[in-house]
Amino acid sequence: MSSACTACAVLTIDLDALAANWRLLNARMAEAGGECAGVVKGDGYGLGLAPVACTLHAAGCRTFFVAQIDEGVRLRAVLGGAVPVYVLCGLLPGTAEVFAEHELAPVLSTPEQIAEYRRLPQAMRARMPRPAVHFDTGMRRLGLTVAEAEAFLDDNDAVSDVDPAVVVTHLACADMPAHALNAEQNALFRRLRDRLPGARGSYANSSGLFLGADSFFDLGRPGVALYGVNPTPGRPNPMHTVVRLSAPILQVRKIDGPESVGYGASHVMGAGSRVATVGVGYADGYPRALSNRGHGALGAWRVPVVGRVSMDLTLFDVSAVPEHEARPGAMIDLIGPLIPIDEVAADAGTIGYEILTQLGSRYQRVYTGGPEGAAA
């Protein structure tokens, strides 16, 4: 039996599409004299840190961001010492040696982290890339408050000791272009960043790159758009599709009906209907919230999810599909050309980020395209 059959479902990841998405976004930044980093946290948004990072690096990406220190350690092992790797969680107590050993750059988000960094021996600081400093301009999450940022900027010794290479912030409402907070964050970040002329400004996330040139600054920081999720909700997706999730039909049952299907008897099918069972469920990251709401695609036919998504199985109504097409072994797309990831997310009442990062480990992962050895 092939590994694909053993896994039941196949997650295909198009590395060429990933590279094309980075190039598209980097070209937007380049028009304003900037460049795009690559955000590869969450195991490359669930698609595999090593193949994602190798592909982005081969495409020209030269700055990377991760969320956690362990992710930075893994990324450094993949990329070697050629590029800066910024760790968004910052310099936690007792982690300085790890940052130095693996040449990771902390993103300093609190006065305590700045003080911790300043206490490090100069020799240890020299082993790290220059850090970033995070200003909170409206997210109210990580980052120096305005008062803390101004206190830091007023302290010439602190600024000299830290000598940040990058200043970052995080946009709260970039996917809502008309929201007033976008302009407020832009003005505040511009005011604070202008006091550090030697540091690059990193302002725009995926959606921020579509707010206009005044949001570009020096270093774009796209994440989810790289992986094909639409950064412009309500408008056509400018990004290339990166993932396709397909699963074979395990069984087709004819309904003598009317009969209920699935847990809780939440859906009743009429006489003459046909229901197909595929081996994917919420244990694989296919949300239970898609029960009686989601869709798959069998060839050119969209087929609705019927009944409740269970741990390992999902049911699709294939009554409209010719019987010779809807047969055991035929593949149903759960994410694909007819079922975009943003639609899956909307039907589940969530966002594409969550769908991507919850894709499970039981799939057979197939990487297409990309640089030689990226998927090894």
Say if CB 6 and CB 33 are below 8 A apart: no
Q: Does the CA dihedral 63-69-71-75 come out positive or negative?
A: positive
C-alpha distance across the termini of the chain, in Å: 22
Average pLDDT over residues 346-371: 96
Distances (CA, A) of 293 to 97, 218, 266, 298: 50, 42, 12, 17
Q: Is the dihedral of CA 135, 93, 70, 82 positive or negative?
A: positive
φ, ψ at 332 (rounded to 5°): -105, 130
pLDDT recorded at residue 8? 83
Reference 286, options 248, 205, 341, 229; nearest CA is 341
The alpha carbon of residue 322 and the mean position of all alpha carbons in its chain are separated, in whole angstroms, by: 37
Q: What is the mean pLDDT of the chain?
A: 96
User: In the structure, what pLDDT confidence band is assigned to residue 6 with cuts at 50, 70 and 90?
Assistant: low
Max CA pair span of the chain: 80
Instruction: Residue 238: count other Cβ atoms within 10 Å of its Cβ.
Output: 15
Nearest to 239 by CA among 249, 224, 254: 224
Q: Residues 255, 269: contact at Cβ < 8 Å?
A: yes
Could you tell me the domains of the chain? 14-227 (3.20.20.10), 243-339 (2.40.37.10)
Tell me which H or E stretch contains 312.
none
State the pLDDT at residue 4.
Answer: 43
**Which tokens belong to 38?**
């690559």
Q: List, as residue ranges, the binding site for substrate.
A: 141, 311
- In this predicted model, what pLDDT tens digit does every residue of 33-82 receive, in sequence order? 999 999 999 999 999 999 999 999 999 999 999 999 999 999 999 999 87
Give the pLDDT of residue 5: 54
Reply yes or no on whether the pLDDT at 2 is more than 50: no
Contact at 8 Å (CB) between 78 and 125? no
- Mean pLDDT value across residues 290-305: 98
Annotation: binding site: 141, 311
- Active site residue ranges: 41, 263
